Structure 1
Amino acid sequence: MAIDSYMQKMFGDTNVSAFRDATVLLVGAGGIGCELLKDLIMMQFGEIHVLDLDTIDLSNLNRQFLFRQKDIKTSKALTAVKAVKSFNHFSKLVAHHGNIMDKAQFPLSFFEQFDMIFNALDNLEARMYVNKICLFTRVPLMESGTTGLKGQVQPIYPYLTECFACVPKTTPKAFPVCTIRSTPSKPVHCVTWAKNYLFPQLFGPRDFETQNVPTANQDEKSEEDNAKEKAEALRETNELLDLKNKIDYAAEKLQNLEGTTEFGFINDIIAKVFYSDIVRLLRMDSLWRSREKPTPLDYEGQYKQHLDQFLGKLPTDNLSVSDQKLWTPLENLKVFAKATLNLTRRLAKEKIIDFDKDDQDALDFVATASNLRSVIFDIPRKTEFEVKQIAGNIIPAVATTNAIMAGFSGLSSIHYFLSGKNTEEAVKHSRMICDSSSRERFVNSSTLFKPNPKCKQCSITRGIAKVDLSTIDVGAFRDAILSKYNYEDDISLTTSDSRLLYDFDFDDNRKSKLSKFVTNGDILLVTDSEEKLDLVELMLVDTSGKSLVLPDLEIPEYQGNEQESETEDNSDSNSVIEQEGDDDDIVVLDEDEDEKQISKKRKLEDDFSNGKSVKSRKVEHGESKPDDDMVVLD
């Protein structure tokens, strides 16, 4: 029986037409996305857009069945669409290779064309962004995710059900620089050091050394020790720069030779990193008052002779070691030496090498460097397979779980389309799907929850303001808001990155055009100076010549005091599911941003999100827009 016959038999001609008339967006073409794209096509959605910024890696092929070996390094979105065209008879397919958060490539009008958005993402930031976009546009969202044998599907109908932000999410694990650089105690500390510090120091850009000098821990060290550590850190950075110069010199020689017997730079790296640097750390007496001291690698006495013999046979020596077994220190040294040589040879052409878990040379270097450091600090070693999981933030994915949750995601959408796009009717029939703790069943389901009144996203009144940014000035925009929403007193206008544009005490920008401070897609926050009405978020859509149009909104009374009582560790039975290991993302923090400062920063962000007028910095007339602070995750 043909596919269309099955669809008509299950849903009837009228309902099948509802699918064929729909335009949907699939965000993410990975493990769940590949399965979900197949399902959406089989459901005969009229137009399916697939969006993903990633390219295909070797490690994707075991569970992302639309991709083949020949597709490695190509766009996931473009390749997925190309792969399913052969069995597509009804759907128009459109691929987009780009970042979902790129407002220039994907403005608000891009999202407004869709009847529903399906999320198949693998990171928290993008999920939160899509969730907020759906709140602005009121487009229903199907959120899905898996980790191992667990998974969930959450239908989100803006302002009628819980949004993705209603339940607090687990934050990434963070390690201070001092722990990574000086006092590791876990294998993950050693892997992070090898991947995020040593590897880019030797094979990354030249300015990396000066950007990553470690800071001191004021709580643990005396002023004398702090000064000593800073001096030693600068010395260590200069020594690494010398090693970088030696590697670059060796790379030039290796570029023109099949092989070379000059491997002194490899010996220098080993002697410095695994002996001299450790001896230097041992001079910091305060570090070892409550910790076990490390033992510098006895390279000269125990291993150098064996390694020199091995180096003499490179690059022809075929070293055979299994990534599933723990390597001895000597085996680690040999693999480290061979990986260093291979990377140095490549550096002549590539100039800069970034770590990639699927790059065997890079993985060999990081695995062996982290294991040798573990030996020094008496930390359990890991197999190369385990190091790859840690360095790549990988939680083993199960293809069948991806397929099951993709199926539930597609099935959950039918309630919206079969109800004639009636969101209230769809909510009555929709179910939340999540993993089950029972051995008798794979998943549980429940009715959808109402929005959390203290949610940082959906408890805020939002709307879309259509305005010509180049002709409307700040004062005119402020006057229009006062008139539209009947504020009793003045208001404050602040950008989402805490820049004050207008306030009763600050009207310097009144005659300045909005385009001086904001661009298309930016958000302005409106707060009542008397704090009688709650915070309002207005997304600005540049209309280029058309008049100002403000949305019709019902602004509730100010709820700031109630929202301030919210705690971050509020627990809920709804677990957070990440597709590919978001909970294991590693953030290396500067030491001066310790736990107290992090808590203080979060408190300031929470105050701002909950409606408090933040006037920490004013944007003076003509001041350029500063860059946002950012933490880069791998």
Structure 2
Amino acid sequence: AVFGNDMQEKLQALQYFIVGAGAIGCEMLKNWAMMGVACGPSGHVYVTDMDRIEKSNLSRQFLFRNTDIDKFKSATAAAAAKAMNPGLNITPYQEKVASDTEHIFGDDFYDKLSGVCTALDNVEARLYVDQRCLFYRLPMLESGTLGTKGNTQVVVPHLTENYGATRDPPEKSIPICTLKNFPNQIQHTLQWARDWFEGEFKQAAEEVNTYLGMSSTDQYVDTLQPNSKLETLRLLRRTLVDERPTSFEDCVTWARLTFEKLFNNQIRQLLHNFPADQITSSGTKFWSGSKRCPKVLQFDIDEKDPDAGMRNHLDFCMAAANLRATMYGIKGTFDEEYFRRVLQDVIVPDFAPAEGVKIAANDAEEEKNNGGDEAMGDTTDAESYEILTALPKPGEMAGFRLSSIDFDKDIDDHMLFVTACSNLRALNYTIPCEDTHRSRAIAGRIIPAIATTTALVTGLICLELYKIVGTARKELTLEAYKNGFVNLAIPFMTLSEPTAPAKTKSTLQGKEWNWTAWDSLDMNLGNITMGEFMDHFEKEYNLEISMLSYGVSILYSFFANKKKVEERKAMKMTDVIHSITKKEFPPNQLFIILELIANDVETDEEVELPYVKFRFR
């Protein structure tokens, strides 16, 4: 009645993708069901979220009930929205939207969409979705909350700048010295645990795989940085030879010894270098102010932390052993009785403090100590040679590879390890522990939400959706759209015009062309040959291509071998790329992104151009 039949039909025909089915996602789906979005025969809403419903979600995600706990958010939210409006066409997914799921959310998927709505809890994911919207020229409805604060941003192709065009300054990083030896907040211990996870379960595996992928040991050594060469080789020997497990029992033993190393031995060494009663040169106590004097942890399989209610000692061993097993392709288990039986038989060597170990007391000393392996000279070379002779040759382990594990806050096994590891570190330094839920929020940098703010920002976004759909009467200009910022605690609310996209001035076919990040040179001529591609540019744009590339691969350059150039000119574009990269194109890929350097045929001046969006299917 308010907007008329034409507007309602447009709403019903929309095909929108909601990324996230948490607080904002649930509220948005409810609003869209009430508005009639995607309720027509050609309309559709796609929603994805890989999380399952937790009890703590129920206070602010109103499409969920107690009976839904442990179910997937996306499927449950989709069913609840459809119950409100049976005409809603909706499909749920349980997939992360990232580069590794482009076989699901690829060219064919985005090609049919009207727009994307983000309901995410971190900036990295927003930036990825922003790049997808930029490439496919789709509107993006972005909103976020932080307690009583909320913001909305509407992104319209060619009219406004994209989400990633302006960014907040980077967060102040935690000093390395604080992370390594002097933490005083749970954020410090969580960051330390995340860094340790990445080093042990990701970087170590990648380093082994890099080594095994080389044709010879010498070729691998040539790739190493001089100042970190010895440390890298030690990591390689430890992962591939000294501590390589052959059974899950070996993984459990490794986890128990790792506990001893991290939370007992390293603390003993620190206190050996800096005793509890140490006085600095200025006469003050070394362990004072932000420097908390640590205490050694004794392994206790039955320990339960009163702050977080977690069995940190046992949880650490169970999570670490299973991650280790995954890395080496060994079948693991979380059977508690098995762990108790194996752990009681592990022989833990006695600790003896090492002399001559340098531990930095501040960041300046840390940087000085990191002068690293180069300063060691002959000693480094001798140990490096010893390690290299002990390593198996790459050819001797054909087919053997480790599984690199990327930390993901949404995978419970990952969070169990990081939480237990962080809490044990916190216990070393008398810092209150946190449970897995709270640790997930901190480690994943999750933005918290309250229901009132969520309802307000989704309402503002829905108003912008009406504007994007538009009416036949009026074409909206930049001034019609509004970004919002609210703070309900003050209370405060302001609406502002979006910023126009930055322009790059260029000359094409003798005319001035001001292009933006939304622009590309689109080619929809099918899978033509490279020669036809180059001829098209000269005929259509009066440009002579001097270099053409696909990612890091150069397809053509004016200085290349003439015979090779002529061969490639006769080949289809996809065949040229395949011959260089040795990779097949997924069946759902429609476009290829090409970068080029070209000169005006008449003036011979280089012309600054956006990328080429080449549709080959």
TM over 0.5: yes
Partner residue, 2:388? none
Change (3 A) 1:69 1:464: farther
- 1:537 corresponds to: 611
1:96: Cα distance to partner?
4.2
1:432 aligns with 2:483: yes
**Correspondence for 1:322:** 307
Q: By how many angstroms is 1:501 displaced?
A: 1.4
Task: Indicate how the Cα distance of structure 1 residues 30 and 250 shifts in structure 2: closer, same or farther if over 3 A, else same.
Answer: closer
Equivalent in 523, 533, 536 of residue 477 of structure 1:
533
The CA distance in 1 between the partners of 2:608 and 2:321, in whole Å, is: 61
Q: What corresponds to 1:605 in structure 2?
A: none
CA contact under 8 A between 1:160 and 1:451: conserved in structure 2? yes
1:116/1:224 Cα in 2 relative to 1: closer, same or farther (>3 Å)?
closer
Shift of 1:298: 6.2
Q: Which moved more, 1:335-344 or 1:176-185?
A: 176-185
- The Cα of 1:115 is off from its aligned counterpart by 3.4
Counterpart code for 2:611: E
Alignment of 1:440-459 (within 5 A): 440-441=491-492, 443-453=493-503, 458-459=516-517
3-state secondary structure, aligned to 2:64: coil
Distance 1:498 1:410, change over 3 A: same
CA contact (8 A) 2:427 2:433 kept: no
Given that 2:591 and 2:615 are in contact with CA atoms closer than 8 Å, whether structure 1 keeps it comes out as yes
Cα pair 1:475 1:510 within 8 Å, conserved: yes
Distance 1:414 1:510, change over 3 A: same
* Identity among equivalent pairs (%): 26
Q: Where does residue 154 of structure 1 map in the other structure?
A: 153
1:306-359: per-residue Cα shift (whole Å, max 9, x none)? x6xx65xx5xx8x472329xxxxxxx9xx3333246558988996278877688
Unaligned runs of 5+ in 2: 212-224, 335-404, 506-513, 579-584
Q: Secondary structure at the match of 2:262?
A: helix
Q: 1:478 to 1:32 in 2, by over 3 A?
A: same
- In the other structure, the counterpart of 1:500 is 554
| Separation in 2, partners of 1:437, 1:239 | 59
Matches within 5 A, 1:16-27: 16-27=8-19
What letter matches 1:409 in structure 2?
Answer: I
Change (3 A) 1:20 1:366: closer
RMSD: 4.9
Q: 1:21-100 to 2 correspondence within 5 Å?
A: 21-45=13-37, 46=40, 47-58=43-54, 60-68=57-65, 71=68, 74-100=71-97
Q: CA distance change for structure 1 residues 440 and 104 in 2, over 3 Å: closer, same or farther?
A: closer
The Cα offsets for residues 25-84 of structure 1, whole Å up to 9 and x where unpaired, read as: 333322211111111111112323223252324254443332345555654433322222
CA contact (8 A) 1:201 1:208 kept: no
The answer for the alignment partner of 1:248 in structure 2 is: 249
Opposite residue 43 of structure 1, the aligned amino acid is M
2:438 equivalent to 1:391: no
Check the 8 A contact 2:21/2:77 in 1, yes or no: yes
CA contact under 8 A between 2:186 and 2:431: conserved in structure 1?
Answer: yes
Structure-to-structure mapping, 1:36-435, within 5 angstroms:
36-45=28-37, 46=40, 47-58=43-54, 60-68=57-65, 71=68, 74-100=71-97, 101=99, 102-171=101-170, 187-197=186-196, 201=200, 207=205, 241=243, 248=249, 268-278=257-267, 299=296, 304=298, 311=301, 314=302, 319=304, 321-323=306-308, 335-340=311-316, 343=319, 351=332, 366-374=418-426, 380-384=431-435, 387-420=439-472, 424-425=475-476, 427-435=478-486
Q: Distance in 2 between matches of 1:144 and 1:129?
A: 15
Q: 1:55 is matched by which residue type in structure 2? A: D
**Cα offset for 1:409?**
0.9
The separation in 1 between residues aligned to 2:250 and 2:449, in whole angstroms, is 42
Contact residue 416 and residue 426 of structure 1 kept, 8 A = no
- 1:466 Cα shift? 2.1
Displacement, 1:14?
Answer: 3.9
Paired residue total:
482
What secondary structure does 1:396 align onto? coil
Q: 1:586-605 counterparts in 2 under 5 A?
A: none
Cα distance in structure 2, aligned partners of 1:284 and 1:505: 61
Q: Please give the TM-score of this superposition, normalised by the length of structure 2.
A: 0.63
Corresponding residue SS for 2:571: coil
Is the Cα–Cα contact under 8 Å of residues 494 and 500 in structure 1 kept in the other structure?
yes
TM-score normalized by the length of structure 1: 0.62
Which residue among 7, 32, 53 is the counterpart of 1:15? 7
Distance 1:297 1:430, change over 3 A: closer
Deviation at 1:500, TM superposition (A): 1.9
Could you tell which deviates more after superposition, 86-95 or 413-422? Answer: 413-422
Counterpart amino acid of 2:4?
A: G
State whether residues 274 and 297 of structure 1, in contact with CA within 8 Å, keep that contact through their aligned partners in structure 2: no
Decide whether the 8 Å contact of 1:55 with 1:72 is kept in 2.
no
